[in-house]
């Protein structure tokens, strides 16, 4: 058996909608399918404003511009995250203050936040790892107390909730990814969500090369011009057509992923009960969007040993982030503050294959090879 880590799921409508977009003769950004996607997100999740972007990375870069991040500003985020979370702010001159993960979850430990807030702190960027929510009540109350902005990196968190409210709707703004490894995909794509109305008008301008073309097309102004800095952050309507085909099937995609996630959890639980591994712990008040299924092993040797055992058997689990405070680019900028939990997740976390078309017998096979490894 040969089981990859991920296989992109296609609903079958993608090419049909792409053809329609192409034949509509309006294939640049903000066409019909882009509008349908924006409406879908605003209606389903109650986001004030949804703006498709060419990636979550781009959405994060837009957020950094919108917050007027300047040289010397400090931005707080977990070290255990993807490079774009930090890079977007570094591009504007920010210093990144990395904080540690929790002992029982890769999400950042909000109890450490107030220790690192200074007069230069401008924003907090929580990352909802594996689509499981950070403690947003605590983060928003600390942010309000210190007058800070919050940008949720919700790249993995589509269709997940905290206290019954969708992730991405708590921060001043939030960012999502539709990269082919995420739950809902379009190859490369993303979205910036604006919850604080003050940012909407400028977000549209930054996304349209610094011009007020969006207002012009709505007939709100009679000519458009260069208003601000910006770039070309909007995707072609061909990409949005792909994405819309996926959104129509979101219920089916989510319920299939949850079935696979729950099967892994229940069949591997006895290994956790015997103290052999640690399974994902859903934080209080969170729903699970089954973005990824991870296990924490004892140490880096055992983790690497497990990965090669599985690969010898044709299964391709993978590790995840190399903590950013240890990265070649940021190590000396970070300084000597220790982040032991983040280091531990770097060394011991593995992700199992989880994708829509994963078959029952393949899941059984992965589970039995995993149990064999820990039993021997």
Ligand X SMILES: *Cc1c(COP(=O)(O)O)cnc(C)c1O
Among 130, 156, 287, 342, binds ligand X (CB under 6 A): 156
Nearest to 162 by CA among 320, 45, 39: 45
Smallest distance from ligand X to CB 371, Å: 29
190 sits near ligand X (criterion: CB under 6 A): yes
Among 6, 79, 85, 254, binds ligand X (CB under 6 A): 85
Smallest distance from ligand X to CB 312, Å: 28
Residue among 31 and 190 whose Cβ is closer to ligand X: 190
3-state secondary structure of 49: strand
Per CB under 6 A, the segment of 37-45, 104-112, 152-160, 270-278 that binds ligand X is 152-160
Q: How many helices (H) and strands (E) does the chain have?
A: 14, 11
320 sits near ligand X (criterion: CB under 6 A): no
Per CB under 6 A, the segment of 153-161, 166-174, 233-241, 245-253 that binds ligand X is 153-161
Element (DSSP H or E) covering residue 263: helix 250-273
289 sits near ligand X (criterion: CB under 6 A): no
179 sits near ligand X (criterion: CB under 6 A): yes
Provide the token pair at 101.
Answer: 């993960």
177 sits near ligand X (criterion: CB under 6 A): yes
155 sits near ligand X (criterion: CB under 6 A): yes
DSSP class of residue 324?
G
Smallest distance from ligand X to CB 83, Å: 8
342 sits near ligand X (criterion: CB under 6 A): no
152 sits near ligand X (criterion: CB under 6 A): no
**Number of chain residues interacting with ligand X (CB under 6 A):** 14
127 sits near ligand X (criterion: CB under 6 A): yes
Per CB under 6 A, the segment of 16-24, 82-90, 133-141, 357-365 that binds ligand X is 82-90
Length of the chain: 376
d(CA 303, CA 343): 14
Percent of residues in the chain assigned helix, strand, coil, to nearest 5: 45, 15, 40
Cβ 98 vs Cβ 339: under 8 Å: yes
Among 56, 86, 94, 297, binds ligand X (CB under 6 A): 56
Residue among 177 and 313 whose Cβ is closer to ligand X: 177
55 sits near ligand X (criterion: CB under 6 A): yes
Nearest to 126 by CA among 145, 103, 105, 152: 152
Provide the token pair at 240.
Answer: 């949005």
* Residue 62 falls in which region: left (phi positive, over 0), alpha (psi -120 to 50) or beta: alpha
Smallest distance from ligand X to CB 284, Å: 21
Residue among 54 and 313 whose Cβ is closer to ligand X: 54
Say which residue the tokens 């982030």 belong to. Answer: 321
57 sits near ligand X (criterion: CB under 6 A): yes
107 sits near ligand X (criterion: CB under 6 A): no
Cβ 152 vs Cβ 300: under 8 Å: no
Residue among 235 and 353 whose Cβ is closer to ligand X: 235
Buried/exposed code over 260-278 (b: 16+ C-beta within 10 A; e: otherwise)? bbebbbebbeebeeeebbb
- CA distances (Å), 285 to each of 161, 176, 372, in order? 8, 21, 34
Footprint on this chain of ligand X (rule: CB under 6 A): 55-57, 81-82, 84-85, 127, 153, 155-156, 177, 179, 190
């Amino acid at each position: 058996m040969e089981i990859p880590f991920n296989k992109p799921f296609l609903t079958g409508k993608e090419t049909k909608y792409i053809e329609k977009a192409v034949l509509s003769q309006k294939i640049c950004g903000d066409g019909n399918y882009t509008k349908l996607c924006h409406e879908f997100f605003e209606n389903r999740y109650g986001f004030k404003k949804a703006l498709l972007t060419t990636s979550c990375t781009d959405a994060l870069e837009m957020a950094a511009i919108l917050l007027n991040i300047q040289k010397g500003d400090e931005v707080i985020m977990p070290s255990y995250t993807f490079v774009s979370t930090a890079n977007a702010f570094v591009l504007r001159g920010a210093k990144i203050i990395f904080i540690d993960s929790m002992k029982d979850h890769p999400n950042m430990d909000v109890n450490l936040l107030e220790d690192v807030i200074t007069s230069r702190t401008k924003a907090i960027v929580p990352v909802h790892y594996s689509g499981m929510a950070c403690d947003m009540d605590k983060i928003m109350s600390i942010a309000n107390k210190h007058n800070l902005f919050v940008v949720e990196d919700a790249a993995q968190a589509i269709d997940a909730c905290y206290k019954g409210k969708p992730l991405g709707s708590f921060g001043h703004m939030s960012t999502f990814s539709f990269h082919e490894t995420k739950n809902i995909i379009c190859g490369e794509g993303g979205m910036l969500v604006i919850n604080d109305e003050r940012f909407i008008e400028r977000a549209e301008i930054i996304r349209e090369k610094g011009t007020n073309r969006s207002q012009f097309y709505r007939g709100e102004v009679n000519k458009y011009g260069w208003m601000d800095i910006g770039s070309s952050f909007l995707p072609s309507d061909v990409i949005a057509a792909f994405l819309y085909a996926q959104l129509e099937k979101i219920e089916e995609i989510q319920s299939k992923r949850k079935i696979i996630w729950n099967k892994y959890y229940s069949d591997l639980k006895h290994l956790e009960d015997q103290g052999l591994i640690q399974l994902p712990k859903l934080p209080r008040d969170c729903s699970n969007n089954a973005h990824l299924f991870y296990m924490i092993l004892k140490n880096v040797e055992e983790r690497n040993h497990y990965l090669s055992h599985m690969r010898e058997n044709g299964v391709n689990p993978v590790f995840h982030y190399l903590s950013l405070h240890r990265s070649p680019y940021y190590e000396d900028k970070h300084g000597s503050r220790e982040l032991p939990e983040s280091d531990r997740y770097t060394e011991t976390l593995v992700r199992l294959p989880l994708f829509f078309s994963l078959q029952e017998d393949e899941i059984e096979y992965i589970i039995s090879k995993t149990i064999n490894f820990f039993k021997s």
